[in-house]
Amino acid sequence: MKPGAQPSDKPAYFEDPAMQALYQMVLILGEELAATREQLHALIALCEEGAVPSAEALEAFVPDEQFDLERADWVARLLEPLEQMSSQSGDA
């Protein structure tokens, strides 16, 4: 039986290791918010159909393409400061 390999240690990207931890936290929060948005979107769409949605209906719900565009848009907004930081750095 093989226990498996462990991912290698990653290089330090910042002088202050707290920065790295902070970015991890931002991603985890973003992921959790995305999961909640997904559930909320399904819930609202099903409620608009007039019935109290069941757990099964929630899981079976398939969002439309417009919602995927909204997902892409809010991730773009979340990462927008990266672009801004880059252009500020370029100006300096």
Partner 1 sequence: MTKPTAEMNRSTVHALSPMQSCRDRGRQSFIFHTKRQLGQFARSTLQAEFGKAQETEDAESPAASVVPLDKHPAFAVWSALNIGSQQQMWRALGDMVSRQAPALDEAAKEWNKAATKGSIELDPELAMPTYFANTAYHGQPGGYCLDRDSDDWYAGALQEAGGTLYSRGAGTGAKDSKGQAVLRFIEATFPRFAPQRVVDLGCGYGGQTGNYVVGFPDAEIHGVDLGAGLLRYAHPRAEALGLPIHFKQACASATGFPDASFDLVVSNILLHEIPREMLEAVMRESFRLLKPGGLVVHQDVPTQRPDTPAFQQWLSNWQVAHNDEPFWQCFSETSVPDALISAGFSSEDVFESYQPQIDGPLVWYMVGARKS
Per CB under 8 A, residues contacting partner 1 are 1-8, 10-11, 13-14, 19-20, 23-24, 27-28, 30-31, 33-39, 42, 58-59, 61, 63, 68, 71-72, 75-76, 79, 82-83, 85-86, 89-90
Task: Let me know how long the chain is.
Answer: 92
The distance of closest approach from Cβ of residue 66 to partner 1 in the complex, given in angstroms and rounded to an integer, is: 13
CA dihedral 26, 27, 30, 31 (to 10 degrees): -150
The distance of closest approach from Cβ of residue 83 to partner 1 in the complex, given in angstroms and rounded to an integer, is: 6
Alpha-carbon span 53 to 36, nearest angstrom: 16
Question: Which two three-digit tokens encode residue 43?
Answer: 């819930």
Are 55 and 61 a contacting pair, CB within 8 Å?
no
The distance of closest approach from Cβ of residue 89 to partner 1 in the complex, given in angstroms and rounded to an integer, is: 6
